[in-house]
């Protein structure tokens, strides 16, 4: 299983702690250090759509110029932004061993999925 995120993000910390406390091994991909490949964004888009990946509630989005925000209306524009500023991607992104994608952290959801 692979978890994508930023280690200082509170939601990512909660997810990583949950996996650790439940003794579930994960491979962590740090967006800040390693960025995100376009091919990975395309893969996620096929499964959950680019709109779900774009975190419009976070600080990174809110700090963008309002006129620039209005230009993020397509997959290509969103992917360029996500590669330039990966902290705009909703996190964590969890790729399960079955190939499904989980966005964010919800303790009850994790408990149900990773029994």
pLDDT in tens, 44-72: 999 999 999 999 999 999 999 999 999 99
Q: What is the pLDDT at residue 115?
A: 78
23 falls in which pLDDT band (50, 70, 90)?
very high
- For the segment 27-45, what is each residue's pLDDT rounded down to a tens digit? 999 999 999 999 999 999 9
Q: For residues 52 and 34, what is the distance between their CA atoms, to the nearest angstrom?
A: 21
Please give the residue range of the domain that contains residue 98.
Answer: 2-113
**Helix (H) and strand (E) counts for the chain?**
8, 4
Work out how many domains the chain is built from and give that number.
Answer: 1
63 exposure class (CB count in 10 Å sphere: 0-12, 13-18, 19+): exposed
Q: Region 87-91: what's the mean pLDDT? A: 96
CATH number, domain of 80, equals: 3.40.30.10
Mean pLDDT of the chain: 96
> pTM of the full predicted structure?
0.93
Q: Which residues are catalytic?
A: 9
């Amino acid at each position: 299983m692979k978890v994508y995120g930023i280690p200082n993000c509170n939601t990512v910390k909660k997810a990583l702690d949950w996996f650790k406390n439940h003794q579930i091994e994960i491979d962590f991909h740090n967006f800040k250090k390693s960025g995100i490949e376009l091919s990975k964004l395309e893969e996620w888009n096929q499964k959950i759509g680019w709109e779900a990946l774009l975190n419009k509630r976070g600080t990174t989005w809110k700090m963008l110029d309002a006129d620039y925000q209005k230009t993020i209306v397509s997959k290509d524009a969103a992917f360029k932004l996500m590669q330039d500023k990966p902290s705009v991607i909703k996190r964590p992104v969890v790729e399960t061993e079955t190939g499904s994608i989980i966005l964010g952290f919800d303790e009850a959801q994790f408990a149900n999925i990773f029994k």
